[in-house]
Chain A
C-alpha cells in the first residue's frame, strides 16, 4: 500500500483529517512544539470574505462599517483586483483555522502546516500571547459583545448605538494599554454575564459604580474622587469610559467592549514578522519532511514550493518589507548560524554557533516580539543578502539621503533602525490624555507626541469631533504646531 497521504489535487475530508494528524505529529515530535487543539473549518470564498471583515472572528457585533468593508472587498474580489488569503487563523482555544474549499489538496496540506501547526504553536508559546490574551474566553466574549450590542440597539435605538460605536472606532487605533496587562478575559466574562440580565433601571442607578476600584462590594460614590485632577492616561478609550461626565452606563459598556476587543489584537500587531515567519518556516520544514518520508509526491511538493515562493516574494527598493519573507529568512538564518557558522557569526552570535537550531527556534518564538527579535537576530549576512539600506527622509528636504548601506559600518545602524520601525510607537500616532479639568469647564486635553515631527492627517479634525461627542464638552488636541478643538454639539450627527 502506498504511504502517500493523498494523490492528485482533489481534497476530501478524510485526507485532510489524516494530513492534519501527520503534520501535527511532525510539529510536536520533530520541532518540539506545544499545540492547542485544532479546529479546522472548510469555508467558501464568500465566507472567507466575511471572515476578512470581522478580523477572522467567527462572531462580531453588527456595525455598518463591517457591511461596508464586506461590500468593498467583494467588489474588489469580484472585479479581480484582489485575491484571497489561503487561510485565516484565530488566536482561540481550540485554535480555529479556515481553509478555502477552492484550494487543491497539496495547498490544504501546506495551509494546515502553516496555520494549524505554525500559527497555532506561536499563539500557544509566545510570551506576549500567553500574558496578554485569553484564548479560552475570546469566542465567548465575542458572543457576549454581539448580544449586548444587539440588546442596546433594541433598548436605546439604532442611532444612539451606531454613533457611540462610530466614535469608539475612530479612537480605538490609539487606545492601547501598552504596559499594563489587561485583566483575564474570563474574569471579564463573569462580570459581563450579569450585565446581560441586569435590569435597565439598575444600570442607570449604578451609573458610576465601576468608576471606583472594588466598587462592587462597597459601593459608595465619592464625588471628590471623580472630580479629582486627572493623571495623564495613555488609553483614550479607557479614560473616556471612566471619566466622561455625561455618558450613560450602557455607553460606557460599549466603549469597554470595543476597548477589550481592540486590546486582544495588541500582541498580534507586535509579532507580524515573527508570527508569519515562523508559520512559513514551519510549513517549509513540514512539507519537506512529508516528502522525505514519502507521504507526498513530487507534484505536491512542487506545488507547495511554488506557492511558498510566491508568498515570500520581496520587491526591491521599498520599505514595505514582506513580513513572511523577512521572518522566514531570519529563522532560516538562525539555522544556518547554528549549523554552518562563519567567522563573522562567531563574532556576532557566539551563543548560537554550533548549538541545536531547533532549540534556538523554540527559544526565539517563546521570548521575542518583532522589535526585539530583529535586534537580537538580524545578521550581517542577511543584511547583505537583502541589500538593506537606511534612507533619511526629511519633510523639508527635497532629497532623500542614504545614511547607511550593507557594509561593516552600516550593520548595526540598519539593524537598530529596522527594529525601531517595528515599535508600535512608530507605527501608530502617540496620542494621550494630558488632563481634564472636571471641576471647571470640563475641557478634555489630548496631546500628540511626535519626537520626529511627523504630523497627523486631516482626519484628525473629524476624530476630535467624535471624541467631543463622547466627552460631552470641549475637546482640545494639542499637536506639535497647532491645536485642534471641537465642542460637543447635539446636532453633530
Chain B
C-alpha cells in the first residue's frame, strides 16, 4: 500500500546544522561585516538586526572542462538559417584565450561570491562577540494592544455615512444597462406619445438606485500591538566632543537602537545635536559634521519637548538617549532639570551617557543623580572606553533599572 504523509510539521529547519557549519566557516568574513556595520553605525542597514554579508572565497573547486576549448561538435536545435558548410562568426569574447576569460569570470561572478542575511540571533551573536560580551539580557518593555479601524474594500451594508456614491452608482449603472432602463433623454427623444409613456413606465419600474447597488466603505476593527516607538538621540557636538568621545556615544546609541528594534520592530529615530543652540539633523550630519563652540544643554531638551508635542504625542513610546562630555554652563543646570521634568510624563525612558571625566563638574552627574533618585525613568552612566559602553548599557537596561 502506498502512503501519503504530511511531512510539513516534520523536520523543520533541517538545514540548521549545515547553516551553522557554513557560518562557522565564513566566520571571519561575517565578523568583518558586522564590525564594519557597527563602526559605520549606519542605523538603516542594521534595521531589524539583519545585515547582509558578502561571502568570498567559499568556493568548492572541482575538475571541469572549460567551455569552448578544444575541438567539439555540438548538436543544437531550431535551425532555420543554415545549410551544411555555412559558418558563423563566434561572439567576440570567446575567440582567444577563452579558457582564461571564462574561468576568471566564473571566479568573480559565479558561485564564488554571494550575499546572505544573518538572522537577528546570529547577528547579535557576532555583534556581541565582537565586543567580547555575553548574550544580550532578555527583558520586556511593556507592549500594549490597540484596536484600530482600517480601511479595507467595500461591503454591501453599513452606516449611511459610509455610503460610497461612486461605487454604488457604478453598480446601478451596470444594472440599468443590463435591464435596458430608458434614460430621460430617451423619453424626450421619443416622438410617439404612447411609446414615450411606455418608456416612462419602464423607467419607473426599474429603480434608479436599488438596494443591491449600495456599497459602503469598509472599516473592520483590527487589533494590533502598539509598535510605534521613537528614539531621540541627543548629542553634544561642541568643540570638546572629539571623535573618540563621539565614537563612544555612537556605540551607545547603536546598542539602544538594536534593543528597541528587537522590542518594537521598527523605530523612528530623531537626531538632535547641540552646542549653544540645538538643531534637528539627519544621521550623516549627526555623526560626522564637525562643530565648535560652547555648550548649552537646555535648548536641546526644549527642542525634544517641542518635537514630541508636535509629532509624537499620546500613542508613541518615547525613548531619549543623551550623550555629552558633561560640559554645560552652570546657570543652565536648573533649566535642564526643569525641561527634563516637563519631559518625564511623555516618555518611557531617559538615559544619559557621559563620555568624559567631569572636570569642572558642571552639568551632569549632579543633576542626573538627583533626578534618578526620584525617577526610575531617568538613568545615567559614565563610559570612558569603548569596552565600557556595553557594561554601561547593560547596567542601564538590566531588569532592575527599568
Contacts and interface: CB of A to CB of B under 8 A. Distances in A.
B137 interface: no
A315 interface: yes
B104 A458 contact: yes
Contacts of A399: 87-90
Interface in A362-406: 386-395, 398-406
A17 B82 CA distance: 52
Contact of B58 (A68, A116, A390, A459): A68
A66 B15 contact: yes
Nearest to B114: A72
B197 to A, nearest CB: 49
B78 A417 contact: no
Contact of B62 (A40, A162, A173, A403): A173
Interface in B70-115: 70-80, 82-90, 95, 98-100, 102-104, 106-107, 111, 114-115
A413 to B, nearest CB: 9
B7 A459 contact: no
Contacts, number: 259
Contact of B72 (A393, A428, A460): A393
B79 A67 contact: no
Contact of B74 (A98, A386, A390): A390
A459 B61 contact: yes
Contact of B76 (A47, A171, A318, A456): A318
A67 B20 contact: yes
A455 B66 contact: yes
Interface string A18-31: 00110010000000
B36 interface: no
A399 B95 CA distance: 9
Interface residues of B, number: 67
Interface stretch (A57-65, A207-215, A266-274): A57-65
A370 B231 CA distance: 65
A53 B63 contact: no
A193 interface: no
Contact of B68 (A13, A53, A393, A414): A393
Interface stretch (A278-286, A295-303, A335-343, A446-454): A446-454
Contacts of A40: 2-5
A174 B85 CA distance: 36
B68 A395 contact: yes
A409 to B, nearest CB: 7
A391 B74 contact: yes
A174 B72 CA distance: 20
A9 B115 CA distance: 37
A71 B90 CA distance: 36
Nearest to B25: A64
A406 B76 CA distance: 11
A94 B104 CA distance: 44
B170 to A, nearest CB: 29
Contacts of A171: 62-63
Contacts of A406: 79
Contacts of B115: 75
Contacts of B23: 67
A71 B113 CA distance: 12
Given A47-B11, A75-B116, A398 B89 contact: yes
B24 interface: yes
A450 B87 CA distance: 25
Interface string A54-97: 00001000111111101110110000000000000000001000
Contacts of A463: 61-63
B222 interface: no
B177 interface: no
26 contacts: A37-B2, A43-B7, A62-B18, A66-B22, A67-B23, A68-B22, A71-B116, A174-B63, A315-B77, A317-B76, A389-B79, A390-B73, A391-B74, A393-B74, A402-B85, A402-B87, A402-B88, A410-B84, A417-B73, A455-B70, A456-B63, A456-B65, A457-B65, A459-B61, A459-B64, A463-B63
The 8 closest A-B pairs by CB, nearest first: A316-B78, A67-B22, A454-B70, A453-B70, A67-B18, A38-B2, A462-B61, A41-B7
